[in-house]
Structure 1
Amino acid sequence: MSGFTRHRRSKQVIATFTGFEADLLRSLASQLVELLRNEAAAPVESTDPLEAMLDFDGPTQAPDDPVLARLFPSAYHGDEEASSEFRRFTEGGLRDGKSRAACTIIDDLEEAGLPPLLEEDGLMIDVELDEDAAHTWMRSFTDLRLALATRLGIEDGDEDYWMQLPDDDPRAQAHDIYEWVGYLQETLVLALQR
């Protein structure tokens, strides 16, 4: 994987993934979609007809899952009522947007030729993204990295800890995936600047 680049003539953002890389990325995006859709807090039904019409019936409590709490932090620390109201009006839309962004990655990989079940060795997947799709991928990479960092317990300045883990340690392998998604995001940002 060489990362994302921008095609000189078409201005498309392009990358070539091995079948394994594309399947891994699809799996990560699918897991994120599942988490976002299945762990949604129960909505609060509004008695206000205008609010009901505008669908302001989102959750009012912070998510219990640490990843979701990281993806949807409280807006007003120290003011539970304001945080609750903000969450009620925004979290549903934010969840939908994050889910759609992850689905864009899945759809784009499959449109580029990734089969539903990866069975072919040596398969290469060429992905071409227009500017809007590239920005969507970039946002979803942020969500994927936040999710991975939260699950792994990654903190600023703990690089030595991760570097000392043996290669066969599952945590080291998961950290490598976290770093790889960061690399993809970085090359995508650079490609968009060109």
Structure 2
Amino acid sequence: MPGQFEPLPGGGAAVALDAVEISIIRSLAVQLLELIGPGPAEDAQGDPLAELFADGPSEPPADPVLRRLFPDAYGDPGRAPASPREAEERRAYSAEFRRYTENDLRAGKRDNALAVIRSLDELASAGEGGAVLQLSAEESRKWLGALNDLRLAIGARLEIADEEDTDFLFRLPDEDPRKPMVMAYLWLGGLQETLVGTLMP
């Protein structure tokens, strides 16, 4: 799937997508939305301040994908704590930071995924088959955030710990059940890289 973003005059980006590509990206964005979940005040009886002042969770998510999307803010994951006291301090600082920031982070990720879905729905409603998606500069930034989150999510499922540790992806045999996820991961990476290029001055 060779789609590449190209810069538009005056800002923004465009990419040609066929019907299959549109369907794949939309499906992944919907799954991401479902994984992130609703906001904390979805059942707040229309109180606009409820979500603004709702405390977030203080514990890291159990799901490895959500842990990748919402990592702890304190401590070096590659370095073990020097003492039990340091480990406890890390947990306390991370819990406090998560409590006050995770709701906003989730809202931002939901907003980005929804922007992808809406723009693809508009594109699909414009006609049958493939089409050229045109994004404003703001929409491009939302797409970039969503593409990054999708790659983080797929990377977590593939147990990719480091971007430099992806050589094995190219060596997987076609019959490996992870192959479709690998193809999506690599394709989204290409889209992300070309979209970044359109945002560079």
| Range into which the TM-score falls when normalised by the shorter chain | 0.7 to 0.9
Deviation digits for residues 127-177 of structure 1 (CA, Å, limit 9, x no counterpart): 110001001100111111110000011244444422222123221221111
Q: Cα RMSD over matched residues?
A: 2.4
Alignment of 1:25-174 (within 5 A): 25-37=25-37, 54-77=52-75, 78=87, 79-113=90-124, 123-156=129-162, 157-174=164-181
Counterparts in 2 of 1:172 and 1:61: CA distance versus 1, 3 Å: same
Matched positions, count:
178
Q: State the partner residue of 2:5.
A: 4
Letter of the structure 1 residue corresponding to residue 136 of structure 2: D
Unaligned stretches of 5+ residues in structure 1: 42-51
Deviation digits for residues 4-32 of structure 1 (CA, Å, limit 9, x no counterpart): 00133x54310110100010000111100
What TM-score comes out, normalization by structure 2 length?
Answer: 0.80
Distance in structure 2 (CA, Å) of the matches to 1:53 and 1:154? 34
Deviation digits for residues 66-87 of structure 1 (CA, Å, limit 9, x no counterpart): 0111111111233222211111
SS at match of 1:126: strand
Q: 2:189 aligns with which of 162, 175, 182?
A: 182
Letter of the structure 2 residue corresponding to residue 189 of structure 1: V
Alignment partner of 1:16 is 2:23? no
SS at match of 1:96: helix
Counterparts in 2 of 1:11 and 1:84: CA distance versus 1, 3 Å: closer
SS at match of 1:137: helix
Distance in structure 2 (CA, Å) of the matches to 1:111 and 1:69? 32
SS at match of 1:170: coil
**Higher RCO structure (Cα 8 Å, ≥6 apart):** 2
Unaligned stretches of 5+ residues in structure 2: 41-49, 76-86
What TM-score comes out, normalization by structure 1 length?
Answer: 0.82
Letter of the structure 1 residue corresponding to residue 114 of structure 2: C
Distance in structure 2 (CA, Å) of the matches to 1:158 and 1:81? 31
Deviation at 1:114, TM superposition (A): 5.2
SS at match of 2:17: strand
